[in-house]
Structure 1
Amino acid sequence: MNYTENYRGIKIDVQTHHVDVSDDVQQEIRNNIDKITRHTNDINFIDVYFKSEGTGSTMVSIVGMRVAIPGSDTFADDKGENWIPLLKSVTEKIIAQLKKTND
């Protein structure tokens, strides 16, 4: 399930690999974009990646996010079990990078 949307003037491209993204996760993506925009207004687009690796008890979920801003893009990813906590973790990593860039 890949999709693209325009959220508050920001193009969001969500790419998945054998994963269905629920409405709750889609809303969490938007909530996290709101958090990111508090730290920069110069976002060209955001790519979000969802992927599952392994099988059964070795299944790992992976979330990656690339925020395209003037200069160099910001990227973060994380691995774990649940999409929403992973999105929050990735967003925190992105915000930390943006703070370093703005200092």
Structure 2
Amino acid sequence: MNYTENYKGIKIDVQAPQVDLPEGLQAQIRKSIDKISRFTHDINAVDLYFNISGTGKTAERILGMRVGIPGPDVYSEEKGKDRWNTMLRSVTDKNIRQLQKDK
């Protein structure tokens, strides 16, 4: 599932090759962007990369988030067996910490 949308002037690009994302994740992505927007108002784009590495019991979910802002972008990644929503909250919080550190 891949899609692109414009949310409040922010280009959202979701890339999830060979991954079926759950219903409601799109709303969770928008909530994450709203949360990040409280720490910087200069977001141009948000790219999300959903992937699964391995198969069966060794399968590991990988979620990366890049927040495009003027200057260097911030990027964080989470790997594990957690649900996508949990991983999305984690990468959102990691990116917020990077934005706060850069201030």
Give the total of aligned pairs: 102
Q: Distance in 2 between matches of 1:19 and 1:63?
A: 11
Q: How does 1:1-103 map to 2 (within 5 A)?
A: 1-81=1-81, 82-102=83-103
Residue 49 of structure 1, CA deviation:
0.5
Counterpart residue type for residue 57 of structure 1 = K
**What TM-score, normalized by structure 2, do the two folds share?**
0.95
Which runs of 5 or more residues in structure 2 are unaligned?
A: none
Between the aligned residues of both structures, percent identity stands at 55
Instruction: Give per-residue Cα distances to partners, 1:14-50, cap 9 Å, x unaligned.
Output: 0012102223111111111110000000011010000
Runs (4+) off by over 2 Å? none
Which runs of 5 or more residues in structure 1 are unaligned?
A: none
Q: Distance in 1 between matches of 2:9 and 2:21?
A: 22
**What TM-score, normalized by structure 1, do the two folds share?**
0.95
Instruction: Give per-residue Cα distances to partners, 1:43-95, cap 9 Å, x unaligned.
Output: 11010000001111111111000001001000000012210000000000000
